[in-house]
Amino acid sequence: LPADVLATPASAGPDSLAGSSSTKPLAAIATLVMHGLLALLFFVLVSPLAMLLRVLGVDVLGLRRDDRATSYWRKTGSN
Amino acid sequence: VPALRILGISAFYHDSAAALVQDGVIVAAAQEERFSRKKNDRRFPQAAIGYCLEAAGLRIDQVDSVVFFEQPLLKFRRVAATWLGFAPAGCGSFVRVMSSWLTVKLHQRRLLAQQLARFGRFDARRLRFTEHHLSHAASAFFPSPFDEAAILVVDGVGEFATTTIGAGRGNRIVLHQQINFPHSLGLLYAAFTAYLGFKVNSGEYKVMGLAPYGRPTHAQTILDHLVHRKADGSFRLDQRYFDYCIGAKMTTPLFDALFGGPARKPESELTQRHFDIAASIQQATEHILLDITRAMARNDKTGNLCLAGGVALNCVANRKILDGSGFKNIWVQPASGDAGNALGAALVGHHLHGEQPRSPAPNRDTMQGAQLGPAFTQAQCEERLRRAGAVFTVLDDAALVAQTAQKLADGQVVGWFQGRMEFGPRALGNRSILADPRVVDMQRRLNLKIKFRESFRPFAPSVLAEDAQAWFELPVASPYMLLVADLNPLHRHACENRDDAAPGTAALNLPRSSVPAVTHVDDSARVQTVEARTNGRFHALLAAFKQHTGCPILINTSFNVRGEPIVCTPEDAFTCFMATGMDVLAVGNCLLDKEAQTVSSVERPDFEAD
């Protein structure tokens, strides 16, 4: 899954956050709740904001081809 | 207080590593995979750090600072920006990626400090962070022989930057310009790697190796449709063709349509179409890199260029840059992938954070031939081999070299385990499998019986540095196998179809030269020049082989099998030796003949396809 590979941290260590067997059901519920909240966040906040920016003509990732620009280099430190 | 003992760490993305710099000298550097035996291991480099501390004779509380190779929070901003660019598409990956960020990476500082505290008392204030491309740039410039140089970093992606231009002078580095995610040469090449059925982040070499079998029939299509370029080399990728930002694949159906069919299934048959696509992406990549470096050379007064980032491991493109960019000298960090960032981070800590001076020696880098990993004394080698059940004879230096050279000249395949393990993806004569390059079917034999990998993959030659120019068209030294060179015409053989524009793999078994096993179908070779001052024993072996045969060249391939990391210890070497068709193994001054071994069967590990 490229998006995951490019954006997801691997676990910080061999046993970090893996959870012991006794906490596994709890951890599973917590994960489920978190996923639900994140999905909600995505549709309630991220998507409208993304669409608003698009309507306003803000090209967050510089996805558009720009025929007038002489260069696609950007100054370092200008993120 | 000047920081003098710096530990650099690269982890959690791909190929974790650690490096230790003491008083400006690179004391140790190693990838975690070599210890954990898990290829491209990206977990916290516990064992690699342990090794670095041991090699320097330091406890963790004696280290002045620990530098992590990138900025997690900056990376998080990039990840967040990605969804702002694509939402409402990408909900699934948003949930997956964000949940792992919330649970792990946003707590990076704390988690790192916890891990470091396992080594002893660790003051978390000594943990510092640098930026991904700054550590690449530091790994490219600080060890180089140049006092002043232009710097180019090209990889997949770090935080935001995928391509960065900078300049180094003395102990300073300034980064000037960058191209940001998702516009990335590394990811463009990776997209084609995936499309050709290979693994992203490790199969790129295979694409480069396939390219000479094909014709670059699609190169212009790539440059016209996928990439929008400016005269100064800067570029954007048309994201309609790519799915790596938010999707589950590298490419979209539109990409498939443009290149006339779906992606190749891994392990399925390779056809001329695949060769042509490999040749095309290789040529397009070279084209873009040449545009960038030519524009850089026009603004440069130093004549020197330093390269790092995963794309700098493309030794074919490096040669094009050497020949065509206008830079007089280029130096490429041998560990140009993310493992090298551990070294870069340590050097950032020393020269940039610690403001320590730097005094480069002309014509001599500070990488010590990349021999920065664990070494084993003769006593340790013997003890470890004995415990593994190996049968061996112990020889003095002269006899070891003479007997090994004789066996190589007899067509035997030799495992060569000597001195310190190399840092970076290449074996350079310390963890190598060696063979006679004059034998016509040696490439096939090595690929199928020893490395268990695809028969199309070419092998690299190691040549005595003093004989390099007589055999190869190589104007400079290439100690790290980071440049290709054509075989000198004197050593090429005339054979039918050799000038066919689309040779395909049929040309593979033609005796194209007097060293066919290391000559690719386009007469090129990925050369390592071996100097006596950097690797005396390997140099002596090459010289002895030359004495027997008149040929100063050996096939040099990494000491591992497909899917496995390069061997680290004598035990790893013995296991790999017993599991493969290797005939002879030299570990330090111990010489092992396969036929003399009594260990009945060392089970061949289950080699996964890479």
Q: Is A34 on the interface with B (CB under 8 A)?
A: yes
pLDDT in tens, B523-580: 899 999 999 999 999 999 999 999 999 999 999 999 998 789 999 999 999 999 999 9
Q: Taking 60 as the threshold, does the pLDDT of residue B39 lie above it?
A: yes
**Eight-state DSSP code of residue B497:** T
Instruction: Select the residue of B95, B183, B187 nearest A39 (Cβ to Cβ).
Output: B95
Determine the distance in angstroms separating the CA of A54 from the nearest CA of chain B, rounded to an integer. Answer: 8
Q: Is A45 on the interface with B (CB under 8 A)?
A: no
Instruction: Give mean pLDDT, residues B392-415.
Output: 97
Q: Is the pTM of this model over 0.95?
A: no
CB pairs < 8 Å spanning A and B:
177
Q: What are the residues whose beta carbons fall under 8 Å from the beta carbon of A42, sequence distance 6 or more? A: B83, B87, B88, B91, B94, B95
Per-residue confidence (pLDDT) for residue B454, from 0 to 100: 74
Q: Is B298 on the interface with A (CB under 8 A)?
A: no
Mean pLDDT is highest, among A8-12, A32-36, B90-94, B152-156, for: B152-156
pLDDT in tens, B341-376: 999 999 999 999 999 999 999 889 999 999 999 999
More confident residue, B257 or B14: B257
CA pair distance B591, B574, nearest whole angstrom: 11
Least Cα distance to B452 among B607, B557, B265, B271 occurs for: B607
Per-residue confidence (pLDDT) for residue B473, from 0 to 100: 96
The helix/strand count (H/E) of chain B reads as: 19, 22
Q: Taking 70 as the threshold, does the pLDDT of residue B145 lie above it?
A: yes
Chain B residues in contact with A42 (beta carbon < 8 A): 83, 87-88, 91, 94-95
Per-residue confidence (pLDDT) for residue A38, from 0 to 100: 93
pLDDT in tens, A11-20: 544 444 444 4
Per-residue confidence (pLDDT) for residue B275, from 0 to 100: 96
pLDDT in tens, B28-38: 999 999 999 99
Instruction: Give mean pLDDT, residues B129-145.
Output: 97
Per-residue confidence (pLDDT) for residue B520, from 0 to 100: 87
What residues are paired with B468 via a beta bridge? Answer: none
More confident residue, A57 or B418: B418
| Ordered alpha helix ranges (H), B153-271 | 185-195, 204-210, 219-221, 253-258
B400: its two tokens: 């070891």
Which of A26-40, B168-182, B409-423 is predicted with the least confidence, judged by mean pLDDT?
A26-40
**Eight-state DSSP code of residue B123:** -
Q: What is the mean pLDDT of chain B?
A: 92
Q: What are the residues whose beta carbons fall under 8 Å from the beta carbon of B137, sequence distance 6 or more? A: B151, B153, B164, B166, B168, B173, B175, B306, B308, B344
pLDDT band (50, 70, 90) for residue B600: low
Answer whether B436's CB lies under 8 Å from B442's CB: yes
- The nearest alpha carbon in chain A to B72 belongs to A9
CA pair distance B314, B28, nearest whole angstrom: 25
Percent of residues, chain B, with pLDDT higher than 90? 81
pLDDT in tens, A11-62: 544 444 444 445 678 888 888 898 999 999 999 999 999 999 999 999 889 9
pLDDT in tens, B494-524: 655 444 444 556 555 566 788 888 888 888 9
pLDDT in tens, B249-303: 899 999 999 999 999 999 899 999 999 999 999 999 999 999 999 999 999 999 9
More confident residue, A36 or B492: A36
CA pair distance B372, B17, nearest whole angstrom: 12
Per-residue confidence (pLDDT) for residue B513, from 0 to 100: 83
pLDDT band (50, 70, 90) for residue B606: very low
Q: Is A1 on the interface with B (CB under 8 A)?
A: yes
B51: its two tokens: 């090794």
More confident residue, B168 or A2: B168
Instruction: Give mean pLDDT, residues B91-106.
Output: 85
Q: Is A55 on the interface with B (CB under 8 A)?
A: no
Q: Is B151 on the interface with A (CB under 8 A)?
A: no
Q: Taking 60 as the threshold, does the pLDDT of residue B122 lie above it?
A: yes
CA pair distance B436, B499, nearest whole angstrom: 26
